[in-house]
A and B are shown apart, each in its own frame.
Chain A
């Protein structure tokens, strides 16, 4: 049976082995539009009965040429693209870009702006991990319970963001050198209230999923990846920590003011889907502790941007690879400046891109249901994969 894919690429006829009980391989399209792909991503699985024999991932549907466009906008103009790459953790992406430009131009950031940035970034990590819990619950089979429970918490955090910067997803609030404007007066009290609700939310999700026998049966020993395999694929973030490597940029290469707080890094040991879930769950609790400490230490008054900022930013020629710990892994901006007012080259190192490349070995010889669960556990955001 010759099957023609829409690019005109002809898939070879599945080989029919003349043994009487041999079932015939089937090419299944976990296509661009599929509930399991969390976005526009296509995976052609060659399935023998229920076992996946071969998986060919196709990406590039969301490629918008972010890097090329950033090269033709001045340093402040390209900030908008950072929100749109990883739209589940827009503050973190913005923070990396803004830090890179400040480091290039040698601009010092006032203390208060640093604290507000860190607090908003950690809240964004919570937001992103809640999104993972909801989406992953639906992949595993919770008809909608995990989704609605986690979105109840996400609403609270997004209301806080809306109060601070007027937007729920594409914030565009950080500026080179500081913040766009002052956070509202009751920022700290609101944050504390939101944190209390979030802690309740985390325990709810924990009780719903962690010790549920069926959940354990579906997630344990699925898509397991050893530490070396993960490192070789360039996997970073919760997936790498789930494989037992305690590599967290906030600790290994501390940036901004992370060295003023104490928290722990959760590390799994088998690197399978269940460990990834546990690592992310524990990471949410650790983010809450960081936020508590940051909110207490935050100076309540002070400037939020340096006194003298050049009108047209012309950083001296040079290059920088600024990397920070996004909820999905190490998000890096490799920025080269040539002395003019436009960056010469901006390369966005997206964690999902490399985490996704490690999907194939996890899926081969697994069940079709495991392939979907493994894909869900990578927590991909397709806009960030294709940039």
Chain B
């Protein structure tokens, strides 16, 4: 692999910077809707990273699930309630507690990164694109149990949501 800077590395660093900025943006920006938009940008960045790793399926599913559905629900909730008027308590009483938790998490992450041994594949072109068939077989043969557990979890979540929403509907 020639040691110069390859195209994927350039794209990777661009995406990394974009993701970093938007991640920080999500936390620091005052207006909550801007935070949601930054959130979308960071998720798109994640999808981009997957694309670089030539795992298109995961990237597209990421875009499909996060990009359109989850974010829309967040914006949906923001628009109906008056959340956007009240400035978020960025610097409230619980600030020290927040910082402590953040630092703890940071330490754990760095620890994890240092501990793992990163195996760099011999050459980026060596990664064969994984076909749809392979993914399909894997899901329904090797990983069938977690697949079913996730399915059950999701349906429970759905029922919970309906329960929460329905009390409001019983008046009219």
What is the interface of chain A, defined by CB distance below 8 A to chain B?
A: 1, 16, 21-24, 49, 51, 365
Query: What residues on B are CB-neighbors of A23 within 8 Å?
Result: 80-81
Chain B: interface residue total (CB-CB under 8 A): 8
- Contact between A21 and B172, CB atoms less than 8 A apart: no
CB < 8 Å neighbour of A21 from B82, B85, B168: B168
* CB proximity of B127 to chain A, nearest CB, Å: 46
In the assembled complex, which residues on chain A have CB atoms less than 8 Å from the CB atom of B82?
16, 24
In this assembly, does B7 line the interface, its C-beta being within 8 Å of a C-beta of chain A?
Answer: no
B109 to chain A, nearest CB (A): 31
Q: Per DSSP, are chain B's interface residues mostly helix, strand or loop, or mixed?
A: helix
- Cβ of B5 < 8 Å from any Cβ of A? no
Q: Which of A16, A49, A365 contacts B80 (CB 8 A)?
A: A49
Report the minimum CB–CB distance from A55 to chain B (whole Å): 15
Judge if B108 is at the interface, Cβ distance under 8 Å: no
Chain A residues with CB under 8 Å of B172's CB are 51, 365
Q: Which residue of B lies closest to A19 (CB)?
A: B168
- Give complex CA distance A1, B81 in Å: 14
Kindly list chain B residues whose C-beta atoms are within 8 Å of the C-beta of A49.
Answer: 80
The answer for the CA separation of A24 and B168 in the assembled complex, in Å, is 13
Check: B126 CB closer than 8 A to any chain A CB: no
* 16 cross-chain CB contacts under 8 A: A1-B85, A16-B82, A21-B81, A21-B164, A21-B165, A21-B168, A22-B81, A22-B168, A23-B80, A23-B81, A24-B80, A24-B81, A24-B82, A49-B80, A51-B172, A365-B172
Measured between beta carbons, the chain A residues less than 8 angstroms from B85 are 1
Chain A residues with CB under 8 A of B168: 21-22
What distance in Å separates the Cβ of A54 from its nearest Cβ neighbour in chain B?
14
Task: Give residues of chain B (128-152) contacting chain A, Cβ–Cβ below 8 Å.
Answer: none
Distance, CA A1 to CA B165, complexed state (A): 26
> 8 closest Cβ contacts across the A-B interface?
A23-B80, A24-B82, A365-B172, A23-B81, A51-B172, A49-B80, A21-B168, A16-B82
Known: A1-B85, A21-B165. 14 other contacts (CB 8 A): A16-B82, A21-B81, A21-B164, A21-B168, A22-B81, A22-B168, A23-B80, A23-B81, A24-B80, A24-B81, A24-B82, A49-B80, A51-B172, A365-B172
Smallest Cβ-Cβ distance to B81: which chain A residue: A23
Bound-state CA distance A279–B53 (Å) is: 67
> How close is B81's CB to chain A, nearest CB, in angstroms?
6
Provide the bound-state CA to CA distance between A49 and B168, in Å: 12
Distance in angstroms between the alpha carbons of A356 and B122 in the assembled complex? 80
Give 1 or 0 for each of B42-86: 1 = CB within 8 Å of chain A CB. 000000000000000000000000000000000000001110010
